Amino acid sequence: MATYDPRDDNAPEAPAGETETSTQHVDGGDERRLIERRRFLQAGVGITVALTVTGLSALNVTGGLRPIATITPEKEPPQAGDRLVAALDQTKTATRTDILDGRPQTMWYPNNPKTGIVKNGTDFNLVLLARFDPASLGPDTAPHAAAGIVAYSAVCTHLCCTVSDWDAKNAWFLCPCHHSLFDPRADGKVMGGPAPRPLPLLPLALDGDTLTVAGGFVTSVGCS
């Protein structure tokens, strides 16, 4: 299982063994064309970590078999209190009115409001936002939503492609690589395709009209 390892400087870019290509989408816009990078992991095992620190972080990996590496603030995972800024306009902070009901997901990065640092140093921090009628959200999803807005990791749990497409018929997220489908109203449940597990959900809250992160991803970000 390849999961987010922020200590690995290669992880957010193109680790050894990965092939990275750009792609265009049938129903995506400029945002999707710019963001999506297909990642095919051929090797490598990551270790999921969640660190909450200020400034640089360090962690000894695998009991000294690998050197201590640093985690830059840009690679730290989202944490409670973070804001969300648009992936393509990182001066834009998400508010409840930015996310329209029943529309395709949009992409955002966490932003530490204390330091102003956008956590865009790894694609594993890329977050999907979508909005639904709160009454339509499942019991495991509703407590983590804010005004019907839900947040999920954009990293497909199959082979780590970006889940950038939208199944308009069912209002599901669609991964363009091998067509896995995820239901954002039902805890990111897999509705089709080869993905082995749901998309990790990111709890949200509201500070006035501003969307905030209420906690870290509830499950490990990454792919099998």
Binding positions for ligand FES, rule: CB under 6 A: 156, 158-159, 161, 175, 177-178, 180, 193-195
CB of 58 to ligand FES, least distance (A): 31
CB of 79 to ligand FES, least distance (A): 26
Q: Which is nearer to ligand FES, 38 or 185 (CB)?
A: 38
CB of 121 to ligand FES, least distance (A): 22
Q: Which is nearer to ligand FES, 113 or 192 (CB)?
A: 192
**Which string of DSSP letters, residue by residue, matches 45-91?**
---------SS-EEE--GGGTS--EEE-GGGSPP-TT-EEEETTEEE
Q: Distance between CA 178 and CA 118 in Å, rounded? A: 30
Q: Which is nearer to ligand FES, 137 or 159 (CB)?
A: 159
Q: Which is nearer to ligand FES, 127 or 137 (CB)?
A: 127
Q: How far is CA 174 from CA 16, 41, 66, 70, in A?
A: 27, 19, 37, 34
CB of 192 to ligand FES, least distance (A): 10
In the DSSP assignment, the letter for residue 97 is G
Annotate 75-101 with b (16+ C-beta within 10 A) or e (fewer).
bbbbbeebbbbbbeeeeebbbbebbee
Tokens of 53: 């620190």
Q: Torsion angle, CA of 110/111/117/123, rounded to 10 degrees?
A: 10
Q: Distance between CA 196 and CA 72 in Å, rounded? A: 30
CB of 36 to ligand FES, least distance (A): 11
CB of 174 to ligand FES, least distance (A): 9
Q: Report helix, strand or coil for 35.
A: helix
Q: Which is nearer to ligand FES, 23 or 72 (CB)?
A: 23
Q: Which is nearer to ligand FES, 175 or 201 (CB)?
A: 175
